[in-house]
Chain A
Amino acid sequence: MSLLKDTRALMRRDQVFDFMLPPPDFEQPVDLSHGPILYLEDVSVSFDGFRALNRLNLAVDAGELRCIIGPNGAGKTTMMDAITGKTRADEGQIYFGQRIDLQKLSEYQIARGGIGRKFQKPTVFEALGVFENLELSLASDKSTWASLGFRLRPDQRDRMDEVLQLIGLGTQRDRQAGTLSHGQKQWLEIGMLLMQNPMVLLVDEPVAGMTAEETERTAELLTSLAGRHTVIVVEHDMAFVRSIARRVTVLHQGSVLAEGSMDRVSSDPRVIEVYLGEET
């Protein structure tokens, strides 16, 4: 079966043979010559016969702020799992830039390579302080021996203070992360992503459980990040999506139902039927 697949892959005329591709090299800048920084083609993922992703196609340009919406079970989180290496796609291709095949890399390599991810449920290291949470996420040599002798350089310390200000936790730096409020944990996790210095930020439901004011500040934060980083936001809160989105992708049953500006998408009859109809 896999031999047949390999042979077929060799016969394809539209792409270079896989074995001729150079190994992923994160020292080189990611090749963005054709626009997209993240490119998913015909990606399918099944769990026990249930197709969570069904020939999903998605291309996200560098510096874009993309919102992904869809009803429960549309495959939003599975898509993030597939991109970050947590789940392997059964079929299809996932590329980071032009050259880096994400399916060949494991989670930590993808994370080091520049794709950061925020979980749906805010996940911070609760037993550690806010500052230590950021320190752990800091982009640096993360091998075992390097960690034993690790010392913060002054420029890294400055960067951490900068991020602390950005996420509004400047006065909380020594507080234990477990004692932060829900909204503060969400911000801390975004801050941890920023410390990784990622090119792509995958943000899963950043405003779930936030007050209106916190939501507004989060919207500001994410919009300010776009441009320098590529930001992909999965969110249920339509008002929030409307306030930040430039381009929206609607997922339904594991594939893309519609894509475009918020106004165009929300007037699409199919979208209204599966998703927006329920809410309004």
Chain B
Amino acid sequence: MLTRLLLSDRGGLIILALLTALIIYVPIGNLLLPADSPLHVSTFTVTLLGKFLCFALLALAIDLIWGYAGILSLGHGAFFGLGGYVMGMYLTRQIGDRGVYGHPELPDFMVFMNYDSLPWYWQGFDQFWFALLMVMLVPGLLALVFGWMAFRSRVSGVYFAIITQALVFALMLAFFRNEMGFGGNNGLTDFKDILGFDITARQTRVTLFVISGVCLIGAYLMCRFIITSRFGRVLVAIRDAESRTRFAGYQVESYKLWLFVFSAMLAGIAGALYVPQVGIINPGEFSPIASIEAVLWVAVGGRGSLFGAIIGAFSVNGAKTWFTTVYPEVWLFALGTLFVLVTLFLPRGIAGIFRTLGQWTSRKPKGDEQ
């Protein structure tokens, strides 16, 4: 089955090979090679690449629903952020009495706001397994309720995109409020350790990086499995001719809902991996712009090819990092230009180049295909 998934997908195979190489090389480069070696990978770079891996996972989740089912969600940051907050809650509980106020149970911001005891929705987050479960359940549940209402009313296209923006904006406003009990404006930060390992230690950073990479590869394979099954063909059918699909006997809404929930869970996992690496989660993750940017990664990388989303997340974020350190004031112009250029000249994104090249090489000898 694995061969079926991989063989039909050359671009993806290359990306997977590169990812695997990265996962193997980075730990060696960081932990084993001496700091003055030219092949040494700094801890800063490890964390940066780890962040990119999380973004790539988010982009993958968006490409799955946008590229294959035509559902444009401009609010995937909501699920990413929720996954991040769940992980943040676990990490906050791990701080224990090492906070500024030294309270044995309550996080600093709660002490500051005169909480007597932990709110009910913070219960259980001291357990890692519970947090892991919630990382998938919370975004999944929100997607289930939201998607059920939206798809049942046959909201689609631009209207769906707009209400997802509204969703993420509403979450941002809610999480900004101190009374919500998630640290308000400042969010959750000052994490100490994860599963007993020091979160700032090099080894922990590298481990988190490797886990992110493995999760990305796993998610990629799952997405490939979905789109190469009949399920995937139903999705394409829905995207291109929704009512025809309905009259072929498919319950279109349940397909969309299933995929939307799955995609939200992937985004949640991405958020949960992101937070321990950057060390903070705040309502900024819910900003509508962040969600739109994530869709941009997919557009740049190439919608509807899965591996294109990974390329897009890496290239746009790579460019962002470079620009914001070298020419910070130019970055937004560069992003705008990039988007215009991609729309004009590469409607199928960077992955489109690969595909055209692939068709060139594989079609030429045959010559009889039109």
Quick check: A125 and B241 within 8 Å, CB to CB? yes
Quick check: A135 and B233 within 8 Å, CB to CB? yes
A119 at the interface (CB under 8 A from B): yes
Quick check: B236 and A108 within 8 Å, CB to CB? no
Interface string of A120-158 (1 = CB under 8 A from B): 000111111000100111010011100111100000000
Query: Which of the residues B240, B248, B252, B254 comes within 8 Å of A127, measured between beta carbons?
Result: B240
B251 at the interface (CB under 8 A from A): yes
Q: List, in ascending order, chain A residues with CB within 8 A of B250's CB.
A: 108, 136, 142
Instruction: Give B216-231 interface residues, CB cut-off 8 Å to A.
Output: 225-226, 229-231
- Whether A196 contacts B241 in the complex (CB less than 8 A), given A150-B229, A179-B370, comes out as no
- Whether A108 contacts B246 in the complex (CB less than 8 A), given A143-B254, A144-B255, A147-B234, comes out as yes
Quick check: A136 and B254 within 8 Å, CB to CB? no
Interface hub of A86, A106, A119, A125 (most chain B Cβ within 10 A)? A125
Query: Which of the residues B241, B251, B370 comes within 8 Å of A108, measured between beta carbons?
Result: B251
| In the complex, residue of chain B having the shortest beta-carbon distance to the beta carbon of A113 | B249
Task: For residue B69, give the distance in angstroms from its CB to the closest CB of chain A.
Answer: 12
B327 at the interface (CB under 8 A from A): no
B185 at the interface (CB under 8 A from A): no
Quick check: A132 and B233 within 8 Å, CB to CB? yes
Task: For residue A128, give the distance in angstroms from its CB to the closest CB of chain B.
Answer: 6
Q: List, in ascending order, chain A residues with CB within 8 A of B230's CB.
A: 135-136, 147-148, 150
Interface string of A49-89 (1 = CB under 8 A from B): 00000000000000000000000000000000000101000
Interface string of B328-370 (1 = CB under 8 A from A): 0000000000000000000000000000000000000000001
Quick check: A111 and B247 within 8 Å, CB to CB? yes
B243 at the interface (CB under 8 A from A): yes
B: number of interface residues (CB 8 Å)? 26
**When chains A and B are docked, how far (Å) is the Cα of A147 from the Cα of B226?**
9
| In the complex, residue of chain A having the shortest beta-carbon distance to the beta carbon of B234 | A147
Quick check: A148 and B231 within 8 Å, CB to CB? yes
B258 at the interface (CB under 8 A from A): yes
A246 at the interface (CB under 8 A from B): no
Quick check: B240 and A147 within 8 Å, CB to CB? no
Q: List, in ascending order, chain B residues with CB within 8 A of A147's CB.
A: 229-231, 234, 255
**When chains A and B are docked, how far (Å) is the Cα of A119 from the Cα of B225?**
32
Task: For residue A204, give the distance in angstroms from its CB to the closest CB of chain B.
Answer: 11
Query: Which of the residues B225, B231, B237 comes within 8 Å of A128, measured between beta carbons?
Result: B237
**When chains A and B are docked, how far (Å) is the Cα of A150 from the Cα of B244?**
20
Quick check: A117 and B247 within 8 Å, CB to CB? yes
| In the complex, residue of chain A having the shortest beta-carbon distance to the beta carbon of B244 | A123
Interface string of A231-242 (1 = CB under 8 A from B): 000000000000
The contact sample of 21 A-B pairs, CB cut-off 8 A, is A106-B251, A107-B246, A108-B246, A111-B246, A112-B249, A124-B241, A125-B233, A128-B233, A128-B237, A136-B233, A136-B248, A137-B248, A139-B249, A142-B248, A142-B249, A142-B250, A143-B254, A144-B254, A144-B255, A148-B231, A150-B229
- Name B's A-contacting residues (CB within 8 A): 225-226, 229-231, 233-234, 236-237, 239-241, 243-252, 254-255, 258, 370
Nearest 9 pairs between A and B by C-beta? Answer: A150-B230, A111-B249, A147-B231, A112-B249, A123-B244, A125-B237, A107-B246, A144-B258, A147-B230
7 new A-B contacts, CB < 8 A, other than A142-B251, A149-B229, are: A108-B250, A111-B249, A112-B249, A136-B250, A144-B231, A144-B258, A150-B230
